[in-house]
Amino acid sequence: MSPIRILVVDDSVVIRKLLGDTLSSDPDLQVVGSAGDGRIALAKIAQLQPDLVTLDIEMPVLNGLEALKELRKSHPKLAVIMFSTLTERGAAATLDALALGASDYATKPSNVGSPAAAIAAIRSELIPKIKALCAGPSKTLKSLPPPRPLAPVKRPANRRIEIVAIGTSTGGPNALAEVLPRIPRNFPVPIVVVQHMPPIFTRFLAERLAGRCQIAVEEGSAGVTLSAGRSWIAPGNFHMTVARSGLSWRLNLNQDPAENSCRPAVDVLFRSVAAVYGANALGVVMTGMGSDGVLGAQRLREAGGEVIIQDEASAVVWGMPGLVYASGNADAVYPLEQLGPEIVRRVANSHAPRPAAATANLVAIGSHAK
């Protein structure tokens, strides 16, 4: 298999050298060129035909956002990873870039203490993202284990969905911007979300989504009482959980060890939702790299809850939802544009009046739709 061809774009000679040497040390990657500003980058893309571009945001002549706009006109499918600083300005610009069509982002290593630590940070964060984005849908599917039969689950016929829990990662900001605006203002249950993002980024994401949604969207904070028609996004570097508090339910935050190399982790949230809400929960796993959410989805279904996932064709990376599917814990699979309406439909149906005779039955769920 040919190595993944990468163009490194950054106005810092030091960063270009660091990225070039670190990425080239992986036998699956090949840095075919570099550029110090967006205009040079556009010319080199046409010349070198890379598989992926790492793109700095703040550059002279043509900055990263301007270059991305032009790049998407000529190369709509080219994988682009924004390489930005962990600052408020960097977070805002990164979310702008994702909205303009960037595939993903990685944060520049800063205050790590040594070049060796910076190299380690690039290897642990950037290289896996490059490989995941360039794997392609067919390769992603082939890399997953064969799907297990859907595990049968007994659910009370009169169960009501009382909470929706969403987990996502790579491609998640744009996926959430597709799903959450489709939730109506009078939605009868709360929504809790884990999006893998560092601190600062999650606050900006919540603020941006709030401006597009009918329901309220905010970053989660400890002690908040859950209520209908509102959504909370786990803050970066904190696990978010739900807990019963008298007659209400509240959010809790903690900094327990990372799970699946993530904090916040989808598994942590899903486990708490399963423990507190049992069968009255709907889990949703969307685009993302890695396996976070697989064990949590299993726990939700063991408690009698439902789990639906995003399909491979509409996912930026089908790692998280694909592994839930392979584990036999996806009740149904939907393209991204159908997830919002499907969430609304399932919740509404669960709250609709039922014939009295139906409440005595237990329903065995043993098939799924794709």
The residues that are catalytic are 169, 196, 292
- Secondary structure string (H, E, C) spanning the chain: CCCEEEEEECCCHHHHHHHHHHHHCCCCEEEEEEECCHHHHHHHHHHHCCCEEEEECCCCCCCHHHHHHHHHHHCCCCEEEEEECCCHHHHHHHHHHHHCCCCEEEECCCCCCCHHHHHHHHHHHHHHHHHHHHHCHHHHHHHCCCCCCCCCEEEECCCCCCEEEEEECCCHHHHHHHHHHHCCCCCCCCEEEEECCCCCHHHHHHHHHHCCCCCEEEECCCCCECCCCEEEECCCCCEEEEEEECCEEEEEEECCCCECCECCCHHHHHHHHHHHHHHHEEEEECCECCCCCHHHHHHHHHCCCEEEEECCCCCCCEHHHHHHHHCCCCCEEECHHHHHHHHHHHHHHHHCCCCHHHHHCEEEECCCEC
